[in-house]
Structure 1
Amino acid sequence: MRKIKYKKGRKVQPTLLEYTGTHTHTKTETQLFVYDNLELTECEDFEVDALASNVDWSRINWLNVHGLNSVATIQKIGAFLSVDNFMMADILNTTKRTKLDEYHEVLFFSIKSLLPVEHSDNIAAEQISFLLKKNMLVSFQEKRSDFFTHLRERLRTHSGIVREKGADYLLFLMLDAIMENFYITIENEEDKVEELINQSKLNSNPKILEQIEKHRDNYNFLKRSIIPLRDSLYAIKSIKDDNVFNSIEAQNFTFFERLHQKSLELLEQIDYDMTTLESASNYYFALQSHKMNEVMKTLTVVSVFFMPLTFIVGVYGMNFDNMPELHWEYGYFIILGVMLVLLLGMIYYFKKKKWY
């Protein structure tokens, strides 16, 4: 599911856009917030045809889109912001990796939001995209979720400094909220890995090894999602240094640098967790090898015990007429006694040498 596979598709016109995600039955809904430090206007079930009459460029505008099935709605938003067609295609194409683009005074940012699937070892992925232009931020989500619920409440209640800042600061808060999901996912993986390590110490069920490999795939998937995010956040720092884009205020670049540091922390934690997982795998194989060695040692000791006894039985089982002890009255019991003494002597010697 997470491997990149090439699929030959039909040839279409560059202006023909198509949603490639899995939430094909989600209705496209929009919500508009227009605010400043003094006033907030909220429009639920907003119609994008009314963008021109409702967007106030002197204030901060946040348009949130749930569901990407209505391509016409997405195209109208892109036309209103004069966004190039390739950016709109990247919003609808959910197979793209996390990326950052800036073109014609529009900053495009797409990110993968990851969360653990309940009662499963799988990880759910959702692409969230952003368009930032002047005092307007547009967020595109594949489905309804609670990623930004706390931000809506902060806007409504005027909590913190969010209504005192620009749209770039709102973008930072949204990216920060999405990155919190990475911490939740990693913590969930760590709990399951710790449980696997404890199970591997108690039993040698081969399913444990299968689960270890499953979580190793999850960590690799997390790493593949965070690395391009790290690169994109570093690119914002490069934009700051080059002074080529003005939609992000100079004093707010520090917040994005913090996100870059978070991405580095996430990657370091994943590397540490993968090392722990590798140790768990090595411990499983070492335990299996140790148990096999113990079994082989036990079988070897038992075989050594019976080797001289088998030799004696073999000697006295030969059909020779002139065997010296053949006609002894108590020869049978004497040989049994010799065999018993030999066995006890070997047991004592092996015990003294701590060979078992």
Structure 2
Amino acid sequence: MIRNLYQIDKHHISKVEYDNTPDDLDENVDHWLEIKVDDRQEIVPILEEHDFDELILKDFVKPSKLHNLRLSSEAMVLNLPISNSENIYVKETLTLMIRPGLLVTIVHQSNQIFTGLINSLNNNPFDLNIDLNYLVYFMVSYVLKKTANHIQKARNEVDDLSKKLDEAPEELDISDIIDVKDNVHNLSNIVEDQYIALQAIPKLRWADGVVRIDDEIGRTIKNYGFILDLTSRLEENIKGVQSHYQLLLQERSNKKLNTLTIIQAIFVPLTLLTGIYGMNFVNMPELNMVNGYFVFLIVIVIIAITELWVFWRRGWFD
């Protein structure tokens, strides 16, 4: 488990020492407690030190798939679906808890969702007034930025697949398309779940008015429709690639069937002739011809060549 405590001092965020004791926190300064852990059960003692109620604690330890957001008199808990850092098509959960003076985030230990976030805030050229509300807003924006990058990566995979289909379709297998299609579908689900989870944020207000979520987040989420459109277009594109590939497979099958049809058409009259002369009638004048066998061979060759010429003229070999 990795624990980092940051102090939010208006225009700067700095890391401070932390021994899990909430009494050591300066009540006049906002703090962000970042926790990275594989087994969330390990964080129970830490959260109990901060006097979280049972429902809030439950959402931290075992995020609910049905309740992305929980609001109590003392805190808000948001379970936000995000992508795994190593495989963007695998869904994980980022849990954010915000209450007066403290923001707690919990994510999988290997996830790098907030890498570079503090530097971006501290090095901004606008001398912004950083508080918990703005930090939550910045985190949401950061997640959306990461999601947009993931969509771009998925788009590149679809474009590469489409290019390969145009240039070297024989090197492509249907399993390659299905894998990319599944990946795009999984990413689309993550994006949709993010949108659903974020929808409630702009409406949140605490009864005492101490903690609120800035309207900037609401404006950011309204622009989320653009990301949803991107994922929808991605799914349509990969469906188009799959349809194109299936048409190519069908065309290959049709060419094979066309070849078999031509061969069958050539042998139909030849089979008829051999069937006729294979009958055991007594009076068959051609059987007494000295060169009858060779004449018969010449006839069937002429018939076969004539059929091939007719098929070629009619475009059967195109």
Q: Does TM, normalized by the shorter one, top 0.5?
A: yes
Residue 295 of structure 1: how far off its partner (Å): 0.7
Structure-1 residue corresponding to 2:304: 343
Does structure 1 residue 129 correspond to structure 2 residue 91? no
1:153 aligns with 2:119: yes
Query: Superposition pairs for residues 26-175 of structure 1, below 5 Å?
Result: 27-37=1-11, 42-44=15-17, 46-49=18-21, 51-57=22-28, 59-67=29-37, 68=40, 69-77=42-50, 79=51, 83-94=52-63, 96=65, 99-115=68-84, 117=86, 123-143=89-109, 145-155=111-121, 157=122, 159-161=124-126, 164-175=129-140
Q: 1:15 aligns to what?
A: none
TM-fit CA distance, 1:305: 0.9
SS in 2 for 1:322: coil
Q: Percent identity?
A: 19
Deviation of 1:327 (Å):
1.8
Determine whether 1:267 maps to 2:228: yes
> Is 1:247 aligned with 2:242?
no
Partner Cα distance (1:73, 1:162) in 2: 33
- SS of equivalent to 1:140: strand
2:173 alignment partner in structure 1: 208
Residue 48 of structure 1 aligns with an amino acid whose one-letter code is N
Distance 1:76 1:260, change over 3 A: farther
CA drift of 1:300 comes to: 0.9
Aligned equivalents of 2:255 and 2:10: distance in 1? 74
Structure 2 residue matching 1:48: 3-state secondary structure: coil
Q: Residues of 2 paired with 1:147 and 1:295: CA distance? A: 52
Q: How does 1:209-224 map to 2 (within 5 A)?
A: 209-224=174-189
Instruction: Calculate the TM-score normalised by the size of structure 1.
Output: 0.77
The one-letter amino acid paired with 1:306 is: F
The count of corresponding residues between Structure 1 and Structure 2 is 313
The RMSD of aligned alpha carbons is 2.9
SS at match of 2:34: strand
Q: TM-score, normalised by structure 2?
A: 0.85
Unaligned runs of 5+ in 1: 1-26
Tell me the secondary structure at the aligned position of residue 307 of structure 1. helix
1:322 aligns with 2:287: no
Compared CA separation, residues 93 and 56, structure 1 to 2 (3 A): same
Deviation string, structure 1 residues 20-72 (Cα, Å, up to 9, x no partner): xxxxxxx24232314124x765314x1121x2232233x33222223242320
Whichever residue aligns with residue 24 of structure 2, its letter is: S
CA shift for structure 1 position 233: 2.5
**Which residue is equivalent to 1:17?**
none
1:352 aligns with 2:313: yes
* Distance change in 2, residues 1:160/1:112 (3 Å): farther
Deviations 1:143-196 (A, max 9, x none): 1544334232245x4534575132111011112222222223222222222333
Q: Which residue does 1:6 correspond to in 2?
A: none
Asked if 2 retains the 8 angstrom alpha-carbon contact of 1:105 and 1:245, the reply is no
Moved more, 302-311 or 312-321: 312-321
Which residue is equivalent to 1:23?
A: none
Q: What is the CA-CA distance between 1:200 and the residue it aligns to? A: 4.2
